[in-house]
Amino acid sequence: QSVLTQPPSVSGAPGQRVTISCTGSSSNIGANYDVHWYQQLPGTAPKLLIYGHSSRPSGVPDRFSGSKSGTSASLAITGLQAEDEADYYCQSYDSSLDVWVFGGGTRLTVL
């Protein structure tokens, strides 16, 4: 059980908007540690998608955006495309455990 909780799955039709939540606590997201998001396409290594809550690395489409509020963070994907079907993970630091932690992951299905 990760200290960062994500929904196991979300789905949406092409062109729609979906959000993935990452719920933490006062010892991680709530303590203002950076939240990062990774996309893992089937059979491949994770890829950095969002860093520092809301910044995008070069080459990541602006359809992907991140936000943070209180002890939670969210990843939003607009204009959903079939190629977005993947697993998504949030990551932060937990001061109580003294460890970098990943969320349990969310599988996005494009209907």
Partner 1 sequence: QLQLRESGSGLVKPSETLSLTCAVSGGSISSGGYSWSWIRQPPGKGLEWIGYIYQSGTTFYNPSLKSRVTISVDTSKNQFSLKVSSVTAADTAVYYCARRVGSRCDIWGQGTMVTVSS
In the complex, which residues of this chain contact partner 1 (CB under 8 A)? Answer: 2, 33-34, 36, 38, 44-48, 51-52, 57, 89, 91-93, 97-105
For residues 41 and 27, the answer to whether their CB atoms sit within 8 Å is no
The closest alpha carbon to 68, from 87, 56, 54, belongs to: 54
Q: 3-state class of 103 per DSSP?
A: coil
- Residue whose CB is less far from partner 1, 36 or 68: 36
- Residue whose CB is less far from partner 1, 2 or 71: 2
CB of residue 82 vs partner 1: minimum separation in angstroms?
23
- Residue whose CB is less far from partner 1, 72 or 89: 89
CB of residue 87 vs partner 1: minimum separation in angstroms?
8
Q: What is the residue type of 65?
A: S
CB of residue 99 vs partner 1: minimum separation in angstroms?
5
For residues 76 and 65, the answer to whether their CB atoms sit within 8 Å is yes
Dig out the tokens for 42 from the structure: 């089937």
For residues 111 and 9, the answer to whether their CB atoms sit within 8 Å is no
- Residue whose CB is less far from partner 1, 51 or 78: 51
